A and B are shown apart, each in its own frame.
Chain A
Amino acid sequence: MRTDAELMEFYRKGSRDAFEELFARHHRRVIHFCYRMTGDQARAEEAAQEVFLRIARAASTYQPTARFTTWLYTIARRTTLNYLRDEKEPGDKVPIDVTGEGREGTDGISLPGPGDWGPERIAWGAQLQERFVAALQKLPEGNRTAFVLNRGEGLSYEEVATVLGVTVQAVKSRIFRAREMLLAELSGLLE
């Protein structure tokens, strides 16, 4: 089976089949990523289409030394950022803690106590899923992207750091902060 990098090379040389294969391999994960980032199906579809258009437009700049999925998510992240920026209204979607973006410390929001969320009460039904998607959207973009790329897309901390252009330690802190904020946001639901 050909690698993504090889397919990109074939596409650059004019192979339609190579692009079709790349699309078949990655379109689902791109749509999932866009949905996790925007929380909206219609916007996720639009953003995902834009991601593939950008991949096609930027094919000549792709360096086979870079891992394709890292390059793909770098484009996907920038695309969703543009969508969020373009469609954001004043006062809409205020992050839980904007000042927490990039903070390396662990002060601030504390996790609920053991009595609040017994394991037996953790049942991720449809309602909670909906609340989770909403809570995800309230995270600062840097924390949300780091958490989604790692837990949702399966990228390592190092790969997430490459996509975001930050250190591995910063990724570690952002993911932890994302967890703290999500738990704080969702704790009321189970009380």
Chain B
Amino acid sequence: MECREIREIISAYVDGEALPEEARRVEEHLGGCAECRTAEKRMRVLGVSVTRTEGAVPPDFRENLFARLEKEDLLPKRRSIFVYSLRWAAVPLAAAAALALFLLSSREPVRDLSPTALRPPQVSATGEQLSPEDREIVANLEVLEDPDLFDEPEIEEMEIFIPSSQQRG
């Protein structure tokens, strides 16, 4: 194949776009053609050079662009810090409110701490109003008031029983 005919394929080969069959032909040709090898090298250098061609990003580029976008109403505005604070505070505020409601609704009635209320209940001395069970309790009050009466006597000594067969050994 003539060099002029294969140069376009070499260009695609350099870009990694040659078909497998084309790549094989290019490699075969480059193996025997110094002129095309140089051409291939130069093509690669041009590719590197375009990647080195870069524009600079000015420091105010973003600021200027976003100002223009906002002017044209193309950019949603940032919410104020107050709105954000409210959004983030909403959950804990709701939880606190729910807790307060729960505490208020489940609170026990206020105890009557007056001296009359704190006085022990009065039992009729005559026993006329007592039921038979009450009378039995009153009769055994002495026992109930002295728990020691239920205690077992202290064990001074303990006898250990040893079978006679083991005593011999």
Chain B neighbourhood of A172, CB < 8 A: 8, 11-12, 17
Contact of A113 with B41 at beta-carbon distance under 8 Å, contacts A16-B78, A53-B68, A183-B46 already known? no
Residue of A nearest to B43 (CB): A179
- Say which one of B55-63, B84-92, B106-114, B120-128 lies at the interface with A: B55-63
Contact count band on B: 35 or more
Q: Does B35 contact A (CB under 8 A)?
A: yes
Q: Is the interface of B mostly helix, strand, loop or mixed?
A: helix
Contact status A119-B46, CB under 8 Å:
no
Asked whether, in the complex, the Cβ of A23 is within 8 Å of the Cβ of B65, the reply is yes
Contact B75 A16 (CB under 8 A): yes
Residues of chain A within 8 A of B45, CB atoms compared = 122, 124
Whole-angstrom distance from the CB of B44 to the nearest CB of chain A?
10
Interface readout for A117-135 with B: 1 if CB under 8 Å, 0 if not?
Answer: 1010010100011001100
Tell me which residues across on chain B come within 8 A of A19, comparing CB atoms.
69, 75
Measured between beta carbons, the chain B residues less than 8 angstroms from A69 are none
A 36-89 contacts with B by CB, 8 A: 36, 41, 44-45, 48-49, 52-53, 56-57
Q: Per a CB cutoff under 8 Å, which of A36, A56, A182 touches B75?
A: A56
Give the distance in Å from the alpha carbon of A156 to the alpha carbon of B5 in the complex. Answer: 23
Within 8 A of A (CB), among B1-25: 4-5, 7-8, 11-12, 15, 17
* Binary B-proximity of A131-159 (CB < 8 A = 1, otherwise 0): 01100100000000001101110001100
Q: Is the CB of A56 within 8 A of B7?
A: no
Is A167 interfacial (CB 8 A cutoff)?
A: no
Which residues in B have their C-beta under 8 angstroms from that of A32? 53-55
Residue pair A151, B57 in contact (C-beta under 8 Å): no
The CA-CA distance from A150 to B50 in the complex, in Å, is 10
Residues of the B chain whose Cβ atoms lie less than 8 Å from the Cβ of A110: 4
Write out the residue numbers on chain B whose beta carbons fall within 8 Å of the beta carbon of A176.
Answer: 7-8, 11-12
7 smallest beta-carbon distances between A and B, as pairs? A35-B55, A56-B74, A176-B11, A114-B38, A16-B76, A151-B47, A44-B55
- Contact surface of B with A, Cβ cutoff 8 Å: 4-5, 7-8, 11-12, 15, 17, 34-35, 38-39, 41-43, 45-58, 61-62, 64-65, 68-69, 72, 74-78
List, sorted by A's number, 18 A–B pairs whose CB atoms are closer than 8 Å.
A28-B57, A31-B54, A31-B61, A36-B55, A49-B61, A52-B69, A106-B4, A106-B8, A107-B4, A111-B42, A114-B38, A122-B42, A132-B53, A147-B50, A152-B53, A172-B17, A175-B12, A183-B42
